[in-house]
């Protein structure tokens, strides 16, 4: 058996082999996500023998393509983006399982045609398929797709053969509280909640799933995971890239909607939630909602807001000169969209009252790096107090989400020698060293979970609404202010100075993460 086959994560995944016969229908089939993530995930799952034997993929989109052309598109996607190097055998096995259906998203005929195609495949293969719809289109067409799935009967609930339809909805899930509520209303009119999978790809990352394991499979952390021992918690989701060709989307969105409302808030919820009663999807999601509900409304005013936003100017990233956000193709001159956002949040519950949670995310920052750091209180200043001899740091636990995935504990240690001197040292667990580096992509895990009906790593309707409830006043306030209060930061830096001040108010500073 090769090293890759023995990979413990894959062993973990193999329990999913019971996924029922499924047809995955991707709306937005010629889009970027399909090319970069979905088709390569389909390929990798198949190569790992994790797909059910009867698993087909139908791409659906406005672009008129034949099955042959879409297969070519898929093949290129695999060659360019697959985690595994593509093999001729692997591709030959998969090719015949891929189809395409052309149609406008608001045209009822598209769905009738799709239905006939599915029925034809069912007859041809004598199989009753579960249908997994994946909505990966611009949000403007979510509504017609969902409504047409309902009116065409494709949103079928459990049928005589036990097969039924499920739907994965990509982000952005609404752009504020009202639109998220409206989207939930439309979805739950056409589907039952148990058929719905709202995706946040951060939950599919190994290290994010490991957060629950670190917290609840080790008994040493729980006793100190609270306001008595924790001084502050910091969550950073930094990217070195700019907006590329996505300015059309991004300028309407900004960092708060694009990253904080979903990915960063999910990291916060998993870090701060109470232990769930089981690992069931509902038990975990109940706890996440509870902790999100306990977040206090933010203070928002010109004097001392809990929220800071910034936009990058030109600078140097990775030794290369890069232009400002305003110069990115497609950004309007009047734009005051934030490419960076930082928040200071307080969770008003028994465990966390008074402990600041600092969140930040931005484009064109010094480098790509996501981590959660839990900063513990300093020991009483009684023994190791002479500054010239004793360098005593606050203990910190760092959960590195990406890259260099792992867990680090910062401790204080004696420097060897005849004199007693101290220095902070790091204890490091690295995934790549222990488990190898070829771990499954987030989308592989999430596709498989949706096929098997496991919603644990997906967002429930009330969860997304609770998060939007926290974000919406910030968005409204920033909108009122326009450019006033929009900070700038050099591309390649760690964000605007004002974001440092968020922490200084409480005697903290952002962790300076090593490479
Ligand atoms: C997406 C955002 O949800 O996450 C992008 O829309 C961002 O703007 C991406 O670049 C980051 O994901 P990852 O997995 O590369 O950290």
384 C-beta neighbours (distance < 10 Å), count? 16
* Integer Cα distance of 380 and 394 in angstroms: 11
Q: What is each CA distance from 93 to 26, 62, 75, 97, 162, in whole angstroms?
A: 20, 27, 12, 8, 27
- The alpha carbon of 363 and the centre of ligand 1 are apart by a number of angstroms equal to 10
pLDDT at 346: 98
* Integer Cα distance of 509 and 501 in angstroms: 8
Contacts of 136 (CB under 8 A, 6+ apart): 26, 27, 28, 31, 33, 34, 38, 170
Going by alpha carbons, the residue nearest to atom 14 of ligand 1 is 202
Q: Which whole number is the average pLDDT over 189-193?
A: 92
DSSP 212-261: HHHHHS-TTTGGGSSTTTEEEEEEEEE-S---TT-HHHHHHHHHIIIIII
Q: Which whole number is the average pLDDT over 230-247?
A: 95
Going by alpha carbons, the residue nearest to atom 15 of ligand 1 is 239
- The alpha carbon of 423 and the centre of ligand 1 are apart by a number of angstroms equal to 37
Going by alpha carbons, the residue nearest to atom 4 of ligand 1 is 259
263 has catalytic annotation = yes
- Catalytic residue chosen out of the listed positions 7, 201, 263, 508: 263
The 10s digit of each residue's pLDDT in 446-500 is 999 999 999 999 999 999 999 999 999 999 999 999 999 999 999 999 999 999 9
pLDDT at 158: 66
Full-model pTM: 0.93
- The alpha carbon of 158 and the centre of ligand 1 are apart by a number of angstroms equal to 34
Q: Residue 125: helix, strand or coil by DSSP?
A: helix
What percentage of the chain exceeds 90 in pLDDT?
Answer: 82
Q: What is each CA distance from 6 to 66, 171, 418, 434, in whole angstroms?
A: 39, 34, 47, 13
pLDDT at 6: 45
371 lines ligand 1 (CB under 6 A): no
For ligand 1, pick from 247, 259, 265, 365 the residue to mutate: most ligand atoms within 8 Å of CB. Answer: 259
441 lines ligand 1 (CB under 6 A): no
| DSSP structural state of residue 426 | E
Question: Residue 101: which H helix or E strand, with range?
Answer: strand 98-102
The 10s digit of each residue's pLDDT in 82-103 is 988 888 988 998 999 999 999 9
Residue 307's φ and ψ, nearest 5 degrees, are -130, 135
Pairing of strands 369-376, 356-362: unpaired
Going by alpha carbons, the residue nearest to atom 10 of ligand 1 is 239
Question: Which domains are delineated in the chain?
Answer: 3-170 (3.40.50.720), 203-435+484-504 (3.30.360.10)
- The alpha carbon of 202 and the centre of ligand 1 are apart by a number of angstroms equal to 9
For ligand 1, pick from 240, 263, 361 the residue to mutate: most ligand atoms within 8 Å of CB. Answer: 263
170 lines ligand 1 (CB under 6 A): no
Residue 399: is its pLDDT beyond 90?
yes
* Integer Cα distance of 352 and 498 in angstroms: 25
pLDDT at 160: 67
Contacts of 351 (CB under 8 A, 6+ apart): 225, 226, 227, 272, 274
For ligand 1, pick from 201, 265, 337 the residue to mutate: most ligand atoms within 8 Å of CB. Answer: 201
- The alpha carbon of 92 and the centre of ligand 1 are apart by a number of angstroms equal to 31
54 C-beta neighbours (distance < 10 Å), count? 18
The 10s digit of each residue's pLDDT in 177-186 is 999 999 999 9
Neighbouring-strand partners of residue 362 = 238, 340
258 lines ligand 1 (CB under 6 A): yes
pLDDT at 2: 42
239 lines ligand 1 (CB under 6 A): yes
The 10s digit of each residue's pLDDT in 249-271 is 999 999 999 999 999 999 999 99
Ligand 1 atom nearest the C-alpha of 368 is 16
Query: Vertex 68, ends 67 and 69: CA angle to 5°?
Result: 95
Residue 164: is its pLDDT beyond 70?
yes
Q: Note whether 296 and 473 are within 8 A (CB).
A: no
């Amino acid at each position: 058996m090769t090293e890759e086959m023995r990979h413990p994560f894959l062993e973990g995944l193999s329990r999913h082999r019971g996924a029922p016969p499924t047809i995955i229908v991707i709306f937005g089939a010629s889009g970027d996500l399909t090319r970069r993530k979905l088709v390569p995930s389909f390929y990798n799952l198949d190569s790992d023998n994790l797909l059910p034997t009867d698993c087909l993929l139908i791409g659906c989109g406005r672009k008129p393509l034949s099955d042959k052309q879409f297969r070519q598109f898929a093949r290129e996607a695999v060659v360019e983006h697959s985690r595994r190097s593509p093999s001729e055998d692997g591709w030959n096995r998969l090719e015949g399982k891929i189809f395409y259906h052309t149609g406008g998203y608001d045209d009822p005929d598209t769905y009738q045609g799709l239905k006939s195609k599915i029925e034809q495949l069912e007859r041809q293969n004598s199989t009753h398929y579960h249908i997994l719809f994946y909505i990966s289109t611009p949000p403007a067409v979510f509504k017609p797709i969902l409504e047409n799935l309902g009116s065409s009967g494709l949103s079928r609930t459990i049928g005589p053969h036990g097969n039924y339809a499920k739907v994965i909805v990509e982000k952005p899930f609404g752009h504020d509280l009202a639109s998220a509520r409206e989207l939930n209303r439309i979805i739950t009119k056409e589907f039952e909640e148990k058929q719905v999978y709202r995706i946040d790809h951060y939950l599919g990352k190994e290290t994010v799933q490991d957060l629950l394991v670190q917290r609840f499979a080790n008994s040493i952390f729980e006793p100190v995971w609270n306001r008595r021992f924790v001084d502050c918690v910091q969550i950073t989701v930094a990217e070195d890239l700019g907006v590329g060709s996505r300015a059309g989307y991004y300028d309407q969105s900004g960092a708060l909607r694009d990253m904080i409302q979903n990915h960063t808030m999910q990291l916060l919820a998993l870090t701060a939630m109470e232990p769930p009663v089981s690992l069931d999807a509902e038990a975990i999601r109940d706890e996440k909602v509870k902790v999100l509900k306990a977040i206090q409304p933010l203070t928002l005013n010109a004097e001392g807001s809990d929220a800071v936003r910034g936009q990058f100017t030109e600078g140097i990233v990775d030794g290369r000169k890069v232009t400002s956000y305003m110069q990115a193709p497609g950004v309007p001159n009047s734009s005051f969209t934030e490419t960076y956002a930082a928040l200071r949040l307080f969770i008003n519950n028994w465990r966390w009252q008074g402990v600041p949670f600092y969140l930040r995310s931005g484009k064109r920052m010094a480098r790509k790096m996501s981590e959660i750091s839990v900063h513990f209180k300093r020991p009483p200043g009684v023994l190791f107090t002479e500054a010239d001899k004793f360098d005593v740091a606050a203990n910190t636990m760092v959960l590195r989400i990406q890259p260099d995935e792992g867990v680090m504990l910062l401790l204080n240690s004696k420097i060897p020698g005849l004199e007693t001197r101290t220095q902070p040292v790091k204890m490091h667990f690295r995934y790549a060293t222990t488990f190898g580096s070829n771990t499954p992509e987030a989308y592989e895990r999430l596709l498989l979970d949706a096929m098997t009906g496991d919603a644990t790593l997906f967002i429930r309707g009330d969860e997304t609404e609770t998060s939007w409830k926290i974000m919406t006043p910030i968005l409204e306030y920033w909108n009122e202010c326009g450019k006033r209060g929009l900070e700038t930061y050099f591309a390649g830096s760690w964000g605007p100075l004002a974001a440092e001040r968020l922490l200084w108010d409480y005697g903290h500073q952002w962790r300076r993460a090593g490479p």
